Every structure is written in structure tokens, then in C-alpha cells.
Structure 1
Amino acid sequence: MQMEFIRKLPIPKELKQRFPVTDDLRKIKEERDREIADIFTGREDKFLLIIGPCSADNEDAVIDYITRLRRVQEKVADKVFIIPRCYTNKPRTVGKGYKGMLHQPDPKGVEDLLVGIISIRELHTRILRETGFTCAEEMLYPENHRYLSDLLAYVAIGARSVEDQLHRIVGSGVGIPVGMKNPTGGDLNVMINSIEAAQSDQRFLYRGWEVQTHGNPLAHVILRGSVDRYGRNHPNYHYEDLREVMDLYQQRNLENPAVIVDTNHSNSGKHYLEQIRIAKDVLHSMHVNPEFRKLVKGLMIESYIEDGNQPVGGGVYGKSITDPCLGWEKTEKLIYEIADML
């Protein structure tokens, strides 16, 4: 085997014992988990905003941003439920570049996964302690989920991972909502297959154990647009797309039909300012068709302190070093506008 085994990393149980979640923080997570589940099952009609930086690249800037979100959350709490994005591992199409805080706690430094797993656990714990928020992560590496499983509110499975067997069946046992993105090619049946797998009982090998799950009824759709073989983006957030997803849910007889619309990526063509228009377009479709008000549970928005993005080492505080994001002023205004439109 042509691999260099560098060192044995602590298992999740060891890391949780070393960096525990206190009882008061655990109660906050449990209450948020209950309310989020109620939104997905329709027992509560608040609108979800899964919002935040493309990548959590700087602890202080992320805490600053999420603290601002907390102040806004208090003003729209009757209509909107915010789940901050705190994505600490990033997919790389060709395996090169910044892979997130898990790999590089210092984006300008070398990769160090031991420091990384400690850093991401401390970041999520600090967010919960200082803001009362539990966050969303991308489940890029299913084996790593348990390092944060007692802290997370939501996980997304990305467009390049949604066909993977392990991602699907681990999603059946995470105990929180798991959003399945449509693949980059746009085939919605692939995404629906993934949801059906995640909603089903599964037995499989995980972290050296034979495990059994009993299905995750909160597995659901994330629409993120697609890219054709010529590299052209095709959005899938329109009225007709929502109707197609509703029909697919009915054909499969899946539990808790739900859609989160990703306003960036191929829906916006990564033109981040388009997220404002797309968010309002989705809300308009919900007003036109009352069935969509039950189907569309929320939006996923990429947002940070400063507009746009910059290269690693660019030096602008609170500006993305991966995909471009909405800046804070536009973000705050958009959240209030969304609340007014609901």
C-alpha cells in the first residue's frame, strides 16, 4: 500500500471527552433540534435560513459574523429560524487548494489534521456557548461526522457526494436533518434515490463497527442547480422545478417532503449578488402556490462580512477565500426582506 501513515488520530469519543459539551449547552442543542425537526415535519411553520460563509476560514471573523446573525435572529424569530453555516471542510474538484479548517487551521499554513479536528470542535463549541446557535456543516467525510455529532444542527451532502453509498447510509443515522443536493449533472432521480436510502433502515460498517440505523425521516432535497457538459449553469429553483420535486416525492411516497433552495452555486452561476433575486423568486413561487409553502422549508445562502471573495492571504477580514459571498449589509437587509415576505 503506497500510503505514509503519519500518526494515529484520536477517535471521536476521546475528543469529546477531552473537549466536552456542558449540560447547559446540550440543553440548548436539544431544544434547537426539536424546533428544527418540527419545521421539517410541518408542526411549526417558521422558515429556515441556512446562511453563512462558504468556508469557515477564520475563527474570529466567523464568531463576529454569527454574533451579528444572533442580533438579527432576535428580531425575526416569529417567522425565521436561522442555522448558521459553519463549513470547516471544503470539496476540491481536482483535490488541490484550501480544503477548509479541518485540513488547515491556518489557511496559509501546512495541513495538520490533528490540530484541525481540535480546532473545528472548539469553533463549534465556542459558537454554541457565545451565541446559542448550533450550525450546519457539509458531511464531506462521513467517517468524521462523530467528531461534531453532539454539536451540529444540520448536515448537507454535496453534489459530488450524493451518489456515494457511504454518504447515503450514514445519513440514515445522523439523527438530525440531512439535505441531499442534486448532483452537478442535474439528475433529480439521483438525489431522490439518495433520500430514499437515507430514510431507510441500514446496516453497514462504520469506523470499525457493524452498525444499524432505523432511517432518517428528515432527509430531504437541496436544489443547487446543475452544469451541462459544455460548462453552462442551469438553475433549478423555478416554479416548474419545485413542481417536479413535489411530483417525485409523491411518486416515491417519501416522508416529510421538503426542499431547501441553495441560492448560490449553479443556481446563481456563482454570481453571488443574484442570491438576493433568487431568494425573492422562491418566496414569490410560494405565494403563488400554497402547496409550495409547505414544501419549501427554507433557503441556503452564502454570506460573510465583506462582499465577494479573495485569494488565500488576501488580508481582508471577513471576506471569503473560497466562493464569493454576500456582505453583511446586504445580508441583514435580505433577512428582513425575507421575513416581511413570509
Structure 2
Amino acid sequence: MFNDLFNRKPEDKPFLISGPCSAETEEQVLETCQRLAATGKVQALRAGIWKPRTKPGGFEGVGAKGLPWLKKASELTGLPVAVEVATAKHVEDCLAFGVDLVWVGARTTGNPFSVQEIANALRGVDIPVLVKNPIHPELELWIGAIERLQKAGLKQVGMIHRGFSSYGNTDYRNAPMWHLPIEMKRRLPELPILNDPSHICGRRDTLFGVAQQALDLDFDGTMIESHIDPDNAWSDAKQQITPEVLGQLITDLVWRHETTDKQEFLSALAGLRQQINNLDSEIIQLLGRRMAVAEKIGQYKKDNDITILQTARLNEIMERSKRQGAQVGLTEDFVEKYMEAVHLESVMRQEKVMQG
């Protein structure tokens, strides 16, 4: 049923899970799911049964009474269904109604006790489980949740990238921080990963760009929320789209492959990658020389009882680097992060000199 996700072949299309953020009524669930199935683009259906809310008083889902609606939607469409779980009782209810896939939500991923409870409830059950990234950018929590499920004997475990809470972020509901899911793909290449642009964007007009970027980064698919009447949805109205809009969005996405057997491409890519290797080697050598100079500066500071941190000098370096970066097409954000890392290494080198 989920072979296209857990045993992907190069020719397989991206895997799409879609459905309403919340199951509201039986009629809403059935109509949404049937219209999604009619697009021919969806491989699995979803609906929020239990909705964890930041504050009390909001709509927290219809509860287990919505599970028969999903079961009926599956029977009518022939598509499997997926539900988010946060407790052992949620797992038990889902299994009782034949839910085909469950996922662990972002709030739950951040709580090892809750994840272990879910893992224990799933022990001995052959069902796919996906794990959303925790709300905050902590990869070890994400990996830890995955390992708890795997140690419970679950064989089909995957990931969902839904973005991270970030102070000062204004462009997204949850900042994608693409380097983090990329690092997860590097560490756990055998696990499939889906992108959740609905929760990253928080609004429907930017869904396409995020979904396309995920595919460009070789994600295995996407999870997008869909509703028959998005503006009047009981939760997350701004980020949901109708099934028909979803069908067009998926049609417009460009699907790329990780590699090809075209010799011309492979030869050209090999040459360019060797250039990258050579440049990286030069950068590492230059950084080593830079740190050697920083250590000499540290010795002068030590001999003259001068502090390591020189704020005015740091500001001067940052401003000059950003100007130079802009001249060669580097973004200000990249230059800042790069120079912050370089400066931190320099400070640590000087601290060793001070303590020596």
C-alpha cells in the first residue's frame, strides 16, 4: 500500500497525502476525500481527528467519532488513510478502525515520554509511522523520536518536515530551515521524507514555491491540507486549498530525478564537482592560515592583558564582509552566518592561547 513511499524507485512520482486539517462533519470529510480522489493525484487521505492547540478554548477536533468517517472515505475512494496521534489511546483507536498510517505531530515529537508511549502502543504492529520535526530546531529530538519507534520494532518509519518555530520569522508560519531536513537526509538516507508546506507557509498563496523547493531537494513527497470550503474551515483556514486547486498545483510542480544515466550529463557534472572539491580544499587551507594568525593575535592579547572580544573590530569585519559578499552575489544572511562561525572558531582558538 505504501510501497511507493518506503520502497521508492527512481521512476516513482512524489507521494502525496492530502485532506482537511480537521475532520469537522461526516459530509465534509467524505466530499473532500472523494473530490481529492477524483484529481488522480493523491496516494493517501488525511484528516485531523485530535487537534493539539496552543491555548485552551479552540477547536481540538471531533475525536474518535471522526474515525468511522475516514474509514468510509477509504472504502469509497480505495485510498489509504492517515491520522496524527499523540497518545497511546489515539493509537489504540486508530488501530481499531483500521487506519493505514499514523504520524507523530511536532508537539509530540518534542516530548520523549509521549513518543515512548506511542512506540509502546505500536510494538508488534506492522504499520507505517511518520515523525514530524519538533517545533524547535533540535535534530537530536527528531532523531531520538525515530529511534524510539525503530527500537519498538517498527520497520516503516519516515519523516515529515513541517518547519520550525523561529523568533523574528515573518515570511513563514514555521521557518523551513532547509539545512536541517537536508542534514536529516544525510544522516538517515534510508528513511523517506515528506514536506508539509501547509504548516510551513501558513497561507495558501506560497504553498507552490515551498512544495517545489522540497521536490528540488529530492524529498519523497508532500502533505498538503485540502478542504471543500477553505475560508470557513474550523482550523487553519488560511493554509488550506480546495481539492481542485490542489490537483492543479500538483500538476504544475516540476518533478526532478536524483540522477540520470546520460553520459554527457554525468561527465559534465563530474568536472564541475571536481572544481567544487578543489575550491573547498583551497577554502579549508585558507581558513587554517586565518586561524593561525588569530592564534598569534591571541598571544599578543595575552601578553598585553587585552580581552579576546573586540566588538568594534567584529563589526568592522562583518560590514566589510557583507559588502564584499554582495559584490560576488552572496546573500547578507549567508555572509553573516559564515563570518559568525569563523569568528567563533577564532575566539575559541584565542581562548586556548589565553589558557595555555
Judge conservation of contact 1:260–1:300 (CA < 8 Å) in 2. yes
Matched, 1:263 2:197: yes
Equivalent pairs counted in the alignment come to 247
Gaps of 5+ in 1: 1-31, 103-116, 202-214, 251-255, 287-295, 309-318
Matched, 1:321 2:272: no
Aligned mates of 2:17, 2:37 — CA distance in 1: 13
Runs of 4+ in 1 over 4 A off after TM superposition: 171-174, 229-234, 339-342
Match in the other structure for 1:236: 176
Cα shift at 1:153: 1.9
Match of 1:131 among 72, 77, 95: 77
Match in the other structure for 1:306: 229
Cα shift at 1:280: 1.3
Q: TM-score scaled by structure 2?
A: 0.63
Match in the other structure for 1:331: 246
Task: Please state which structure has a larger fraction of its residues in helix.
Answer: 2
Match in the other structure for 2:39: 72
Cα shift at 1:277: 1.5
Structure 1 residues 329 and 182 mapped into 2: Cα distance closer, same or farther (>3 Å)?
same
Match of 2:106 among 146, 153, 159: 159
Q: TM-score scaled by structure 1?
A: 0.65
Percent identity reads: 26
Judge conservation of contact 1:171–1:178 (CA < 8 Å) in 2. no
Aligned mates of 1:143, 1:153 — CA distance in 2: 16
Structure 1 residues 242 and 97 mapped into 2: Cα distance closer, same or farther (>3 Å)?
closer
Q: Whose radius of gyration is greater, 1 or 2?
A: 2
Aligned mates of 1:171, 1:191 — CA distance in 2: 18
Gaps of 5+ in 2: 258-356
Q: Please list the CA deviations of residues 78-100 of structure 1 after superposition, one character each: whole Å capped at 9, or x if unmatched.
A: xxx52111221111112332111
Aligned mates of 1:121, 1:328 — CA distance in 2: 21
Aligned mates of 2:174, 2:28 — CA distance in 1: 33
RMSD: 2.5
Judge conservation of contact 1:161–1:167 (CA < 8 Å) in 2. no
Aligned mates of 1:237, 1:177 — CA distance in 2: 26
Match in the other structure for 2:157: 219
Cα shift at 1:223: 0.9
Cα shift at 1:51: 0.9
Q: Please list the CA deviations of residues 226-248 of structure 1 after superposition, one character each: whole Å capped at 9, or x if unmatched.
A: 1135676553363x344311222
Aligned mates of 1:229, 1:237 — CA distance in 2: 13
**1:241-252 matches, cutoff 5 A:** 241-249=180-188
Structure 1 residues 276 and 231 mapped into 2: Cα distance closer, same or farther (>3 Å)?
closer
Matched, 1:285 2:285: no
Aligned mates of 1:320, 1:171 — CA distance in 2: 31
